[in-house]
């Protein structure tokens, strides 16, 4: 995504600078306030998109490394016993939560670890891992609400400024008692700039939001599948067959 925030787009258009400055000078105070607000909103939206993209890319990379290591272990608690750490890895958080709980239920004061646990204990471990999956998904999802607000609210704020500006322009023309293109054009142009500002906020946010949501769904499915895989291994190794 090689776009820039709203203020950068305006500032990096040399051929249009005089035109934009003219429109800005003609804009009413309420239109300028909306444009400034949208500029700040654009900066925040781009900051969220960049941060979430880096976060999800790091999560995918750590998940890949952790999965490769997990496949080499002989028992489900092998990595836990070796005290391997992978901070920031969603799969590791799920594995660690399940392993800590299973280890606690296997330990006995007399003989260390038991060979088997009850199905009730396995169900408890399963629920704990499901909660961890939900928590990790919420961590990855945090901040996306700002992009959703930018997508839905940006155009409406721009439209508000446009309607307000057009209303003020026609009101001024009616009070003056004369309607000419020269009198109306500056006010209408200044009113339309708020819609442009709203679209410049909403369009990049829409693409960024959809891309991030897709990656979030992929990561969530991976977490669910991994949790089910660990539970299956735990049942195979530690659930006594009757």
What confidence tens digit (pLDDT) does each residue in 190-239 have? 788 888 889 999 999 999 999 999 999 999 999 999 999 999 999 998 88
Residues paired with residue 239 on neighbouring β-strands, in sequence order:
117
Number of folded domains that form the chain: 1
| CA dist 241 → 10, 118, 236, 238 (Å) | 70, 10, 9, 9
In a domain, 166, yes or no: yes
Tens of pLDDT, residue by residue over 14-69, are 444 467 676 777 777 888 888 899 999 999 999 999 999 999 999 999 999 999 98
- Domain for residue 111, yes or no? yes
SS (H, E, C) 144-183: HHHHHHHHHHHHHHHHHHHHHHHHHHHHHHHHHCCCCHHH
Q: Is 83 left (phi over 0), alpha (psi -120 to 50) or beta?
A: left
Q: What is the pTM of this model?
A: 0.78
Within a domain: residue 145? yes
- Is 119 contained in some domain? yes
> Going by C-beta distance under 8 Å and a sequence separation of 6 or more, which residues neighbour residue 175?
none
Do residues 211 and 142 lie in contact, with contact meaning Cβ atoms separated by under 8 Å?
A: no
Q: Is 132 a domain residue?
A: yes
On whether residue 1 sits in a domain, the answer given is no
pLDDT digits over 155-200, tens only?
Answer: 999 898 888 888 777 777 667 666 666 667 777 777 888 888 899 9
Calpha distance 150→38 (Å, rounded): 9
Distance separating alpha carbons of residues 52 and 170, to the nearest angstrom: 44
> Cα–Cα distances in Å, from 6 out to 33, 110, 173, 199, 226?
14, 67, 31, 10, 41
Domain span at residue 91 reads: 6-238
Within a domain: residue 69? yes
pLDDT of residue 2: 46
Ordered alpha helix ranges (H), 71-143: 78-81, 90-106, 119-141
The candidate with the shortest Cα–Cα distance to 193, out of 159, 218, 225, 239, is: 159
**pLDDT reading at 97 higher than 80:** yes
């Amino acid at each position: 995504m090689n776009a820039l925030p709203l203020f950068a787009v305006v500032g990096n258009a040399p051929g249009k600078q005089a035109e934009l400055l003219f429109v800005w000078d003609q804009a009413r105070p309420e239109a300028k306030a909306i444009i400034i607000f949208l500029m700040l909103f654009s900066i925040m939206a781009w900051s969220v998109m960049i941060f979430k993209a880096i976060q999800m890319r790091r999560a995918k990379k750590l998940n890949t490394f952790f999965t490769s290591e997990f496949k080499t272990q002989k028992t489900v608690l092998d990595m836990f016993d070796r005290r391997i750490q992978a901070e920031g890895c969603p799969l590791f958080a799920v594995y660690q939560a399940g392993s800590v709980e299973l280890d606690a239920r296997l330990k006995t004061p007399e003989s260390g670890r038991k060979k088997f646990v009850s199905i009730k204990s396995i169900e408890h471990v399963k629920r704990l891992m499901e909660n961890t999956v939900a928590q990790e998904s919420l961590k990855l999802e945090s901040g996306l609400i700002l992009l959703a607000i930018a997508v839905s609210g940006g155009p409406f704020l721009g439209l508000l400024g446009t309607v307000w500006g057009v209303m003020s322009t026609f009101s001024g023309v009616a009070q003056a008692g004369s309607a000419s293109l020269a009198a109306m054009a500056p006010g209408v142009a200044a009113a339309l700039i708020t819609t442009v500002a709203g679209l410049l906020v909403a369009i990049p946010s829409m693409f960024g939001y959809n891309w991030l949501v897709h990656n979030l769904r992929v990561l969530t499915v991976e977490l669910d599948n991994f949790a089910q895989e660990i539970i299956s291994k735990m049942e195979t190794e530690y659930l006594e067959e009757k």
